[in-house]
A = this chain, B = another copy of it.
């Protein structure tokens, strides 16, 4: 309940790690995985996903790896979550319309306010505020 996924944490750890290196340094998945004890294959797929969305630049081949492609203060937490997990929302009806209670729900409005508050908090949180400038 209300937990961040491991994928998201690994992504934030990796971004933080990369940002801590010299700007032009190419950082390999292996380096990050070993430093932070993250399963290599899983991290690999996460970084690929981030590369696909232009957050990282991938350099293939031997001595390859990743570099930051986008400045982290240009992107908020909401965007990262959307990339890795899809649409956000603390209840089903904030995402789709399949809930059987939908038309008779007596808590939808108040819960929706809570949802908005959380989303707006994530909207206002840049990744660099998490990874540290």
Contact = CB atoms under 8 A, between A and B. Distances in A.
Interface in A78-93: 81, 85, 88-92
Interface residues of A, number: 41
B101 A36 contact: yes
A37 interface: yes
Interface in A1-52: 1-5, 8-9, 12-13, 16-17, 20, 35-38
Contacts of A62: none
A129 interface: yes
Interface of A: 1-5, 8-9, 12-13, 16-17, 20, 35-38, 77, 81, 85, 88-92, 100-101, 104-107, 110-111, 114, 117-118, 121, 125, 129-132
Nearest to A93: B9
